[in-house]
């Protein structure tokens, strides 16, 4: 920087250089007079100088901010994946007979029907089927009750059935005799019927797939599916599925939850975990090969970390489809032979390495390749755009990680040299002892700690692997179920990520989803039940950063008498909705006092900035306020007009707030002023403010003219 400044002045005639020094000196003297004659600047608590000259800008990564999806809190099963039936294949009780069939229950009593499980399924991977023996009849001495007897499924804490919508019901059935089965959607106790039809067949002696559509005549967020008959005999059921027909693009994603993620404009999506990938034991880890192909043939598994069964309908293929639908780069986290309690010896790791290579081939392979053909058969002949893989999750210090990692790294680099690999070991403070393109960095802490970590990467080496902050969040008492306090601390941390985006490649909050009926982890970004959803303050906080992907970072310097409670950054971005350029300044006020902030935009022609703009604020009356189903918008961004925009802006920051100021630019970043004098002045002012305290102006102006002159000539 100093060399650049010197070069600027030595290229000018001496007279012009002296005139420039005199001008700055005059401005400084005038500055003192202004302080002594005006109360306006006396009231300023902070000054933010933004250097918008071209020589002081840096493009940020296109995928800097994204999302992390883990199957936790029933995020997928009973959440983003729109399947309404829980335990649709009767497999959750394990491959045993008899076994539990929860949440399925019977309609009737022991004198009318007997229900159990057996191994008669036609699906090899899913051998369990439900056997229903009906002992009552529509005639004779043991008459079935009106409507018949049978079984029902309440879904994941109630099925959301909406009037006018259509639902696709699929199930497999077998019986030695003819059947007449009533299928219906009812309220939670089976009294009110919302949709119904009858399945009648004379010969289902072999397993037969039945498919029908149910159109709802009423609405109920706590509905159930019923399968009933009043005909004596034995009926076997298997693989019962009920899906809304209006999922996103027909891809199976619940519309409202998909939209909430899409509205964040994520640059990437990391999946499917998390601890979900590892398992407490390897036998319960997520194994991608068991999650592809026809849904009826997927065995499902018990996630023993978060303690619930998943059918894995949201599987390897669906995650890549989700990434494509979001326009986000997929980041696949695969199991590296390590669980929470087990570790494969390096001498036996090659089958796991091959499984990872096969998983990459599934995503990227030619449609005629072994695993690419499986993807093509599922309806996606074009390869997915997989460029990132993570070798394990939080396994750095576990037994055999490094030795196994090197074998994964070598094999993937040889087969797919363009794929970037992510290590579980932190490289932010010292170099890694193994090759990697990125390294994982996870932070869960209280609010003060997270906010203070804004400068975490300030001193990280600028060469070598980049950081991937794949999990961050405020947790504990400060977070509650999702508080404003937590969101503000996280925003301060993310401003630090922006400023260090030359060494931080990506960042994502965790966890993304929670079903309110199964809060395994708090807080989370998006809360939902069967029919509704809302964003926590941390969700809305991330909206302030969604325009940062691929944006241009401007150098900014903050001077404040409360420097420990303020964080700020400035970017120039292009709004994809109106195709216009905006300058955005973001400021977090983590303190409990109102702050008067002066923003000075240097290095840009004043005519290139609009004279008005917008201000968006995330705040509330209490820093521990949370959103809820009763009040989902208690802590949400509030947008208003910024009437006096431009190069110099005097703004007010509310206590405990995140604020962004957006000003329309009349040109793109390449047309901004690159006047080096302007650059010098933008760098000079913060130096001066650090030397002389502008927040005690009398002290500032008491400095001698000799000292000021010497400072100018030094610059």
Q: Distance (Å, rounded) from C-alpha 349 to C-alpha 407?
A: 8
pTM of the model as a whole: 0.90
- Model confidence pLDDT, tens digit, residues 284-294: 999 999 999 99
pLDDT level of residue 87 (50, 70, 90 thresholds): very high
Average pLDDT over residues 144-165: 97
Q: Distance (Å, rounded) from C-alpha 605 to C-alpha 582?
A: 14
Distances 262 to 253, 255, 267, 501, 571 between C-alpha atoms, Å? 12, 10, 10, 23, 22
Average pLDDT over residues 124-145: 95
> For the chain, what percent of residues have pLDDT higher than 90?
84
* Residue 314 parent element (H or E): none
Distances 208 to 236, 298, 421, 623 between C-alpha atoms, Å? 10, 18, 46, 58
Average pLDDT over residues 133-162: 96
- Model confidence pLDDT, tens digit, residues 508-540: 999 999 999 999 999 999 999 999 999 999 999
pLDDT level of residue 18 (50, 70, 90 thresholds): very low
Q: Is the pLDDT of residue 689 over 70?
A: no
- The radius of gyration of the chain's CA atoms, rounded to the nearest angstrom, is 31
Chain centre to alpha carbon of residue 266: 7
HSE-CB at 452 with a 13 A cutoff on CA atoms is 6
Residues with Cβ within 8 Å of 243's Cβ and at least 6 positions away in sequence, in order, are 82, 83, 84, 167, 168, 252
Confidence at residue 612, expressed as pLDDT on a 0 to 100 scale: 87
Joined tokens for residue 475: 């947790």
For 409-454, strand residue ranges (E) read: 420-423, 438-445
- How far separated are the first and last CA of the chain, in Å rounded? 11
Q: Distance (Å, rounded) from C-alpha 328 to C-alpha 266?
A: 6
Q: Distance (Å, rounded) from C-alpha 508 to C-alpha 598?
A: 31
**Taking the alpha carbons of 63, 65, 71, 76 in that order, is the dihedral positive or negative?**
negative
Q: What is the DSSP code (8-state) at residue 122?
A: S
Confidence at residue 135, expressed as pLDDT on a 0 to 100 scale: 96
Q: What angle do CA 669, 674, 676 make, to 5 degrees?
A: 150
pLDDT level of residue 561 (50, 70, 90 thresholds): confident
Three-class SS state of 260: helix
Q: Is the pLDDT of residue 706 over 50?
A: no
Average pLDDT over residues 633-638: 98
Q: Distance (Å, rounded) from C-alpha 431 to C-alpha 426?
A: 9
Higher pLDDT, 33 or 100: 100
- Model confidence pLDDT, tens digit, residues 196-221: 999 999 999 999 999 999 999 999 99
Higher pLDDT, 667 or 284: 284
Confidence at residue 44, expressed as pLDDT on a 0 to 100 scale: 62
Chain centre to alpha carbon of residue 411: 30
């Amino acid at each position: 920087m100093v060399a650049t400044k010197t070069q600027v002045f030595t290229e000018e005639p001496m007279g012009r250089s002296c005139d420039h020094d005199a001008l700055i000196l005059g401005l400084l003297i005038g500055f003192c007079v202004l302080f002594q004659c005006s109360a306006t600047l006396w009231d300023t608590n902070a000054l933010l100088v933004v250097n918008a000259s071209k020589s002081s800008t840096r493009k940020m990564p296109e995928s800097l901010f994204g999302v992390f999806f883990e199957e936790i809190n029933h995020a997928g099963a009973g959440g983003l994946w729109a399947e309404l039936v829980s335990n649709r294949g009767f497999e959750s009780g394990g491959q045993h007979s008899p076994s539990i069939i929860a949440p399925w229950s019977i309609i009737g009593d022991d004198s009318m029907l007997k229900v159990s499980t057996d191994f008669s399924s036609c699906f090899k991977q899913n051998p369990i089927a439900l056997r229903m023996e009906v002992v009552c009849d529509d005639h004779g001495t043991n008459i079935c009750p009106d409507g018949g007897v049978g079984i029902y499924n309440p879904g994941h804490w109630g099925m959301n059935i909406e009037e006018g919508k259509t639902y696709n019901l699929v199930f497999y059935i077998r019986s030695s005799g003819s059947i007449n089965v009533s299928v219906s959607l009812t309220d939670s106790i089976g009294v009110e019927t919302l949709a119904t039809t009858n399945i009648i067949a004379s010969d289902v002696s072999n397993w037969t797939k039945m498919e029908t559509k149910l159109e709802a005549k009423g609405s109920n967020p706590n509905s159930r599916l019923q399968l009933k008959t009043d005909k004596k005999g034995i009926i076997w059921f298997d693989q019962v599925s009920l899906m809304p027909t209006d999922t996103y693009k027909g891809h199976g994603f619940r519309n409202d939850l998909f939209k909430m993620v899409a509205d964040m404009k994520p640059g990437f999506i990391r999946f499917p975990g998390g601890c979900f990938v590892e398992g407490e034991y390897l036998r319960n880890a997520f194994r991608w090969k068991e999650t592809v192909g026809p849904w009826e043939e997927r065995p499902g598994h018990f996630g023993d970390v978060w303690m619930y069964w998943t059918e894995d309908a949201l599987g390897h293929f669906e995650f890549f489809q989700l990434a494509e639908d979001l326009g986000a780069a997929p980041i696949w986290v695969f199991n590296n032979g390590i669980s929470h309690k087990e570790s494969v010896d390096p001498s036996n790791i090659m089958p796991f390495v091959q499984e990872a290579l096969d998983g990459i081939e599934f995503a990227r392979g030619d449609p005629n390749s072994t695993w690419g053909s499986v993807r093509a058969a599922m309806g996606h002949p074009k390869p997915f755009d997989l460029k990132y893989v993570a070798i394990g999750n939080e396994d750095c210090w576990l037994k055999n990680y490094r030795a196994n990692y090197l074998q994964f790294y070598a094999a993937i680099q040889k087969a797919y040299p363009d794929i970037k690999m992510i290590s579980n070991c932190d490289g932010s403070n010292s170099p890694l002892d193994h090759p990697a393109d990125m390294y994982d960095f996870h932070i869960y802490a209280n609010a003060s700690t997270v906010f203070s970590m804004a400068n975490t990467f300030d001193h990280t080496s600028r060469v070598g692997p980049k950081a991937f902050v794949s999990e961050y969040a405020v947790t504990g008492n400060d977070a509650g179920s999702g508080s404003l306090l937590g969101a503000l601390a996280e925003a301060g941390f993310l401003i630090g990520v922006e400023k260090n985006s030359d060494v931080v490649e990506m960042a994502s909050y965790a966890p993304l989803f929670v079903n309110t009926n199964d809060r395994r982890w708090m807080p989370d970004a998006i809360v939902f039940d069967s029919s509704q959803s809302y964003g926590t303050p941390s969700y809305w906080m991330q909206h302030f950063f969604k325009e940062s992907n691929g944006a241009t970072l401007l150098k900014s310097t903050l001077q404040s008498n409360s420097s420990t409670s303020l964080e700020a950054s400035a970017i120039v971005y292009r709004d994809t909705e109106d195709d216009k350029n905006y300058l955005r300044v973001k400021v977090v006020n983590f303190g409990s006092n109102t702050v008067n902030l002066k923003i000075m935009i240097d290095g840009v022609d004043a005519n290139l900035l609009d004279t008005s703009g917008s201000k968006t604020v995330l705040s509330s009356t209490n820093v521990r306020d949370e959103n809820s189903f009763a009040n989902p918008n208690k802590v949400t961004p509030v947008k208003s007009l910024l009437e006096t925009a431009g190069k110099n802006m005097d703004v007010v920051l509310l206590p405990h707030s995140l604020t962004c100021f957006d000003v329309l630019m009349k040109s793109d970043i390449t047309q901004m002023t690159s006047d080096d004098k302007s650059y010098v002045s933008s760098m000079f002012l913060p130096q001066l403010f650090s030397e002389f305290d502008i927040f005690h102006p009398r002290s500032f102006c008491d400095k001698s003219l000799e000292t000021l002159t010497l400072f100018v000539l030094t610059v």
